[in-house]
Structures are given as structure tokens and as C-alpha cells.
Amino acid sequence: MNNEKEIVKKNDDIILEIKNLKEYFNINTGFLKTTKLKAVDDVSFFIKRGETLGLVGESGCGKTTVGRTIVNLYKPTSGQIIFDGEVINNKKSIKEFRKKAQIVFQDPYSSLNPRMTVGDIIGEPLDVHKLYKTKEERKQKIDHLMELVGLSTEHATRYAHEFSGGQRQRIGIARALAVNPEFIVCDEPVSALDVSIQAQVINMFEDLQKKLGLTYLFIAHDILVVKHISQRIAVMYLGKIVELASSDELYDHPLHPYTISLLSAVPIPDPKRSKQKHRIILEGDVPSPLKVPSGCAFRTRCSRATEKCAQEKPELIEMKDGHFVACHYVDLSDVKN
């Protein structure tokens, strides 16, 4: 790859732009045979500075792969990752990018080293990027990070297994904050936690965003959690974004049949309204990403599907102001609302 810094036209409002991102994995399917698994297939979006973009979809849709590819845990097959006007495409730019972008993993039980103390886990990024001059300065930074996420500094010498799930996730968040990042990928950070703890952690994410001016890509399968924390939501299905809009717009006026089905499954606390609600149950199973259907990937489970859906891939187009959808047969009555 070209080692020179590549700069694109900078938009001060946009901190991260993803263009035509693809992440394919070679899967062994037999003796000396491999097949490409298209985990992420031509995904494009942007995130504004200080914003939270939610990314939702069923398990296996590729949302976690998007997050890990953005922070270069996976090398992109193709496409561009543009952060603050600079294309991230070589070792130097990736190293600088990792000081500004971090990831909080889904499982706090497996993402923390059981042989390291909490202080060393949080301090590891400080060591890697040489962000302190003395041991005392290192300790002060670790103490500050622990206080920031609601942990007692007295626990710095303990090990991760001595903490609850919610506390472990706070340790992971403190570790991500150690390099003073601008952008954080939150990869299903509350899905492994009890519901009562989920609310505390989500509120903490919001407080940290206000205090530190952070930008989030918040990945989850629970659309209600995503709606609460995100300004905009992107819906993924089999490696592609099928709909993207503001949180309220997506919740009130979903256009893609997959999004409509997801929202129909959201429980309503009012018994009368719940009885009146029509649940849309999708037929069939999610196709294998090793054998994605031709045309529209959702057509095998869609009540609107026609021969056109089998032949042509729908493009993600703007149907309303800021509301994008990839479907040949959008309900135009919803668009006019």
C-alpha cells in the first residue's frame, strides 16, 4: 500500500466515513476448496462528530465485523475508512488511528486478561503508547480512569474475576478511555449483562459522551436499547445496510420490510395497545452468508418479493430527507408521511 498520508476533502461535522467497505473471509468447504463468506458486503455510512450511530440486526448479519474492521482488528478486503479527513490505509495511519479510536467488546468475561490486575489492564494502553513519564503519573491516570467509570481506586490491585459483570465492563470501558480517544466502537457492550445493569452502563456511556465529547458506533441486536442511545440507526441484513434514518424516524416510519418486522416484535407495556399490535413473523431462516440469494438478500423471507427482487440488487437510496432504504417496493404512503 501507499505509505504516504492520503487526505480527502474534510468535512468538520463528519468524524468517520466508511465507503464501500467489504470484509470477505475464505472458508474451507472441502478438500482444497474454499468459499468466500461475505461478512460485510459494500457498506457505506458516516458518523458525525459527537454523535451516536446505532447498528442493529440479527446475529450473523455482519455488524460486529463492521466494528472490528473499522478499528483494523480485521484488514478490510476493500473499501475506505476515512477518519477526520485521513484515509486509514497503512501502518503509520493505523497506529495514529488507534490512539483516537478504541473498541469496547461484548463479553467482559473473556476480553480481560485474568492474569493481570485491574490497574495493569487499564494501564496497558498507556504503556503501549508511552503516555506517561513517571510511575506516579501512570498511577494517577489509572486512578482517574477508574473514578471516571465509577470504580473504586482501591480495587486497582484486584483481578478481573473478583468483579461482577457490570464492573468488568466498566474496566473494559476505562481501558478504552486510557488513550483519550475521540471515537469508540461499542460492540454489544450490554448484551452479556443483566437488564438492571444494562441501564446503568448505557447511562454511563451517555454521561461520558457529554463529558469527553465522544463519538460512538453502538452495535446491538436490541433495537430499543439502540433507539435510547443513538441519534441515527442503521439496520443490517446479511452483510448489507438495508435502512438508515434518525432514531425517531426509523421507529415511527420504518420503510424496509425487515425493519418493519423487527419493530413489530418490540414489546409494548400498554396491554390494550399490545393486543392491537400486528406482529409480523418472518418465514424461513436467515440464508447462509456462504450462499447469499441473488438480487435482494432479504427476498427469500419477504412478502413483497417479485422476480425483480431475484434479479436486481436494490441500492440504498434516500427516500426522505436523511432516510435511506434499499428496497424495490417501498410503501409510498409511508414516504409521504
Residue 200's alpha-carbon distances to 31, 103, 166, 194, 264, in angstroms, are 50, 19, 9, 10, 26
Q: Does residue 214 fall inside a structural domain?
A: yes
Number of domains into which the chain is organized: 1
Residues whose CB is less than 8 angstroms from the CB of residue 204 and which lie 6 or more positions away in sequence, other chains included: 149, 150, 170, 173
Burial 266-277 (b: 16+ CB within 10 A, else e): eeeeeeeeeeee
Domain range for 49: 14-230
Listing DSSP states for 277-318 in one string gives: ----PPPSPPPPTTSPPSS-TTGGG-TT--HHHHH-PPP-EE
pLDDT of residue 276: 58
Q: Does residue 323 fall inside a structural domain?
A: no
- pLDDT means per 10 residues, the chain with 337 residues, are 56 90 90 88 96 93 95 95 93 91 89 92 93 94 95 92 92 95 95 87 95 96 91 96 96 93 76 62 79 91 90 93 93 58
Q: Does residue 331 fall inside a structural domain?
A: no
Q: Does residue 123 fall inside a structural domain?
A: yes
Give me 232's grid cell: 441515527
Give me 249's grid cell: 424516524
Q: What is the pTM of this model?
A: 0.90
pLDDT of residue 273: 58
pLDDT of residue 183: 98
Indicate which CATH number applies to the domain containing 215: 3.40.50.300
pLDDT of residue 24: 94
pLDDT of residue 196: 85
Q: Does residue 102 fall inside a structural domain?
A: yes
Q: Does residue 58 fall inside a structural domain?
A: yes
Q: Does residue 185 fall inside a structural domain?
A: yes
Q: Does residue 284 fall inside a structural domain?
A: no
pLDDT of residue 289: 84
| Rg (the chain; Cα; Å) | 21
pLDDT of residue 1: 41
